[in-house]
Structure 1
Amino acid sequence: DEEADHEWLAGVGVPTVLMERRPWRGSALHGLDSVCSDHWYGAHLAVEHLVGLGHRRMVFATRHDSPTARSLRAAFTEIAGAHPLVERWAWALVAPEAGVDGPYSADESAELPALMRRTGATATVLHGDVDALMVVQRLAAEGVRVPQDCSVVAYDDVVAGLASPPLTAVSPPKAEVGHAAAELLLQRLAEAPGSRQPGRRVELLPRLMVRGSTDRVREPLDE
């Protein structure tokens, strides 16, 4: 489906700017303008915040069905795998039922509270907000308190601040991405016909919004 969209977009014949999409190298869209959030940096902010609070074992959970989820999984894998202070980590689907038809291992499609107990995790990063709220509810149902027993960072920051407790969240610059994309498009529309200006790629950095769902590490969950 994505490849079909690429071919269609490449052939529309009018100025086009991609938002939150990184064209594959050599693809039909590789030469188009694009504006994206730097999700690697967002993952970095989350990990460094938790490490700074003393957390050494973490679970990361993302959706399975979006380019952002794929970017985040790659980023968490790279960052946690190379971080000298992260002792143990695991990645899983934030919604286990999403992995029924996919090539996922038992741990990757496990229920997050159980996976956190197996890894001794004291913190988790969850993509996105609504899924994070549901995970916090599942943790509470099993007697795991946030942030006393487990620190939680959401990734999206649309409704994270409405949770109880309000969730610390990585906040991609959604409005700024739209603004930058509109500016790029206006610039393209103002160019003289036949202009051969090079394609432009803009990357904007997310922010970390610290709220009540993260705290200094205490005792890890029981194995």
Structure 2
Amino acid sequence: MLSWQVAERALFLWNNDHIRNLITQNRTVILPIIFPALERNTRGHWNPAVQSLTLNVRKIFSDADQAIFDECLARYQEDEAKQKELQEKRELTWKRLEDVAASKVVAERALFLWNNDHIRNLITQNRTVILPIIFPALERNTRGHWNPAVQSLTLNVRKIFSDADQAIFDECLARYQEDEAKQKELQEKRELTWKRLEDVAASKVVSNEAVMVSKSISSIAIDKGTAPKATASR
């Protein structure tokens, strides 16, 4: 017997008055158990007979106790939303994993180019142009790339440039460290500015005064590292 025939025979039980009465009397126990199957059949069963019989059973429960029916429907929809959210999270996680794996492959393939003597010679000949461009990426990979293979290959490339021209390498390193220090200082200034803003806002809340901060003032303050002046409207 095919699965749809089994479903059809089971749903035909509701045509028996005695069984229908027993089930409806115990609807508080039975409906929460079978509701998901009923709902799935109603929404998308491929067999019209099964779908039609399911709608009849659904109506029996709905007519017998609308409150329990609505409760089961709400719970089903809530579970469905959770499942959908979980599925989306899974898909997003897999997408990120695929992206990470792809980036790893791309990084490895790019770094493997240095194993080619011709390409390595071309790059080292043009190191004064190429190294300043790629140095930040090399340095970031060297310091903290999660993949050991990429990190190891990057160290090899870094050494090639270092051996080829230590002066240019040191110049690029110094520039990178200088830019890094500037970025750190800028970030600290931003955090300090926002901290001051929060303190000003908190003090005005205590005195029930509104704080008006214009975008231009806050942006200037962030650039200069000074606290923006807050004007209180009375």
TM-score above 0.5, yes or no? no
User: Which structure shows the higher helix fraction?
Assistant: 2
User: Which structure shows the higher strand fraction?
Assistant: 1
TM-score normalised per structure 1: 0.29
Structure index of larger Rg: 2
TM-score normalised per structure 2: 0.28
Query: Which structure's relative contact order is higher, taking Cα pairs within 8 Å and 6+ residues apart?
Result: 1
